[in-house]
Amino acid sequence: MTQPMKFDRNPVPEPYAKTIERFGVEGGFISASEKDSPWVPFGDNAAIRHLTFDVRTNSYCNILWVKSPGIIGTHKHQGAVSAMCLEGSVYYLEHDWVARPGDFFTEAPGTAHTLVSDDPNGMKAIFWMQGASEFYNEKGELDQTLNVFWFIEHYVTYCEENNLPINQNLFI
């Protein structure tokens, strides 16, 4: 019988250990199970799986799922966004690249773009977002501003309407 592998942790000197213990916070873990975070409908053809809300920095992480060929309307970012395509494919009307699983892309403050998936199976991508996203209509009028509190409300409202527990581990 083979022995189980054994790994040891290295010692890490920490001059501020007591202060960290008192005021620091641990990192989090959200499993792939919908019990940890459900898919919350986002319009008719999309859903969002919320993974992290950080109200101190107005930043948030989630997976966007566009279920079949579709569009997420033109929006301008007021913060930085980092993303990776997980399934299907996605592109922006404003750029000449197409992101497929494993492809990484960023969105910068001040830029505006229009997300499209023409993949028969749609797309899934993980987004780490900071700051507000401003959505504009076809007349160039501001429709809606999405910030960390919009995302929290999106999650909490769905949980409360469906008698699901609110996972405090999403809040860091």
* Residues making contact with Fe ion (CB under 5 A): 107
By C-beta, is 40 or 115 nearer to Fe ion? 115
Q: Return d(Cα 76, Cα 61) in angstroms, integer.
A: 17
Smallest gap from residue 127 Cβ to Fe ion (A): 8
Looking at the Cβ atoms of 107 and 119, the one nearer to Fe ion is: 107
Q: How many whole angstroms separate alpha carbon 144 and alpha carbon 135?
A: 5
Using the minimum distance from each CB to Fe ion, give the nearer residue, 35 or 95.
95
> What 3-state DSSP class applies to 82?
strand
3-state secondary structure of 167: coil
What does the block give as tokens for 112? Answer: 């505006």
**Torsion-angle region of 122 (φ positive above 0: left; ψ -120 to 50: alpha; else: beta):** left
**Residue number with the smallest Cβ distance to Fe ion:** 107
Q: Which residues 6+ apart lie within 8 Å of 47 measured at CB?
A: 39, 40, 41, 65, 67
Q: What is the closest distance, in whole angstroms, from the C-beta atom of residue 107 to Fe ion in the complex?
A: 5
d(CA 58, CA 65): 22
Q: How far is the CB of 77 from Fe ion (least distance, A)?
A: 6
Residue number with CB closer to Fe ion (93 or 166): 93
Nearer to Fe ion, 53 or 127 (CB): 127
* Least distance (Å) between residue 92 CB and Fe ion: 8
Tell me how far, at minimum, the Cβ of 115 lies from Fe ion, in Å.
6
